[in-house]
Amino acid sequence: MRHDPLVKAVARALRRRCGYRHADHPEVLVACSGGGDSQALLHALDALSGCRGWHERVVVGHVNHHLSDQADEAEVFLREQAERMGVGWVCRSVHPDRHGGNLEATARRQRHAALRSMAREAGLGVIALAHHGDDQLETMLMRLMRGSSPSGLAGMAWSRASRRGDLRLIRPLLGVTHAEVVGFLERWGIVWFEDPLNSKPDLRRNRLRREVLPALRASWPRGHERALEAADQLRAWSGWMRERTRAHADLFVASEGGAVLTAERGALAGVQGVELEMVLRERLLEAGVPADRLASRTTRQVVACVGTGVASPREWVLACGVRVALDHRSLVIRRCS
């Protein structure tokens, strides 16, 4: 298996794109749902484990969402598979609210929180996620339709640090397609479970996957590769802009234990519009607004009100209860209590 094309692609991605160093992280937590993508990543990373210059061992990290009749069956299967493979095993249960809005987003947030918790408790510094090139293209298209910022349009990063900075999340499959993943699974007779969320026709991502991507793929068979190139350029531009915004880091002053960020309106008016949008975005992310729920139209609207000199007070209520208030003197960002 070590010489399989997909395993080689994962190895290249780990070295060249994910910045993986085995000396720093001898063990890797693999986020595994039991679906085809995560099963492929698990077996590819296990094939590399123990080889010179690679990690010594992988640990399966499973999160049971209890969203299907197969959920417990998948957990048992994965635990027994981990025992057969001789790899580590950690598991958490979460219970997303089926009636609390976006089920997919809620499940994702709870899953990522559980994975971070498991990694920290196990003393592991790297979490490997199984997003592939088709997932990247879907993400970029969905964010384009939402009017995301350039950093949002860059999609998912090959590698990024957690907010605390103590974990690194890597995506070694971004350079391959779902079809290549399925080919790998079939070549090696690897069993997988279907994610119940993938069968829901009302989810926008599923409609995009079933109706839009096939048409795009027919005209641009390697569209995911072009998407990766565009993502790299957008991420580089966003990084450059982020460096510029650091010069304005002192515009906002924290109070109440960091729960409130305040900036003088006059000082904000002296910052160029695009840079001010980036500054505001960074502060809102710090305040707890999830990146996938922070639309660029919101930051543009706030910046426009700052620049026009509108004196009447304005307030915006964002995701997770974060509030932005603007009056004639200041702009205040308040975390949800």
- Return the exposure string of 13-27: e unless at least 16 CB atoms fall within 10 Å of the residue's CB, then b: bbeebbebebeebeb
Q: Is 288 assigned to a binding site?
A: no
Q: Residue 226: inside a domain, yes or no?
A: no
Q: 159 and 253 share a domain? A: no
Torsion sign over Cα 65, 224, 156, 104: negative
Q: 215 and 304 share a domain? A: no
* Residue at which a domain ends, from 206, 221, 236: 221
Q: 164 and 249 share a domain? A: no
Q: Residue 240: inside a domain, yes or no?
A: no
The CA-atom distances, in angstroms, between 38 and each of 17, 34, 120, 274 are 19, 6, 20, 38
Domain extent at residue 131: 5-221
Return the pLDDT at 118: 98
Q: What is the pLDDT along the chain (337 residues), one digit of tens a residue?
A: 999 999 999 999 999 999 888 778 889 999 999 999 999 999 999 999 988 878 889 999 999 998 888 899 999 999 999 999 999 999 999 988 765 667 777 888 899 999 999 999 999 999 999 999 999 999 999 999 888 888 889 999 999 999 899 999 999 999 999 999 999 999 999 999 887 666 665 578 888 998 999 999 899 988 889 999 999 999 999 888 888 888 888 899 999 888 899 999 999 988 988 899 999 999 998 898 988 788 888 999 999 999 887 678 999 999 889 999 999 999 999 987 6
Q: 319 and 203 share a domain? A: no
CA distance 27 to 125: 8
Q: 180 and 67 share a domain? A: yes
Domain count, the chain: 2
Structure tokens at 261: 């960020």
Q: Residue 227: inside a domain, yes or no?
A: no
Q: 186 and 127 share a domain? A: yes
In single-letter form, the type of residue at position 98 comes to R
DSSP state of 247: G
Q: 126 and 205 share a domain? A: yes
Return the pLDDT at 104: 77
Q: Residue 160 — φ and ψ, nearest 5°?
A: -155, 155
Q: 203 and 258 share a domain? A: no
Return the pLDDT at 163: 84
Q: Residue 66: inside a domain, yes or no?
A: yes
Q: 192 and 288 share a domain? A: no
Q: 149 and 66 share a domain? A: yes
Q: Is 53 assigned to a binding site?
A: no
SS3 279: helix
Q: 98 and 212 share a domain? A: yes
Q: Is 35 assigned to a binding site?
A: yes
Q: Residue 75: inside a domain, yes or no?
A: yes
Q: Is 33 assigned to a binding site?
A: yes
Nearest of 99, 97, 87 to residue 65 by alpha carbon: 97
* Residue at which a domain ends, from 221, 255, 275: 221
Q: 15 and 133 share a domain? A: yes
Q: Residue 231: inside a domain, yes or no?
A: no
Total residue count of the chain as it appears in this document = 337
Q: Residue 232: inside a domain, yes or no?
A: no
Return the pLDDT at 101: 62
Q: Residue 327: inside a domain, yes or no?
A: yes
C-alpha triplet 161, 166, 171: angle, nearest 5° = 35
CATH, residue 19? 3.40.50.620
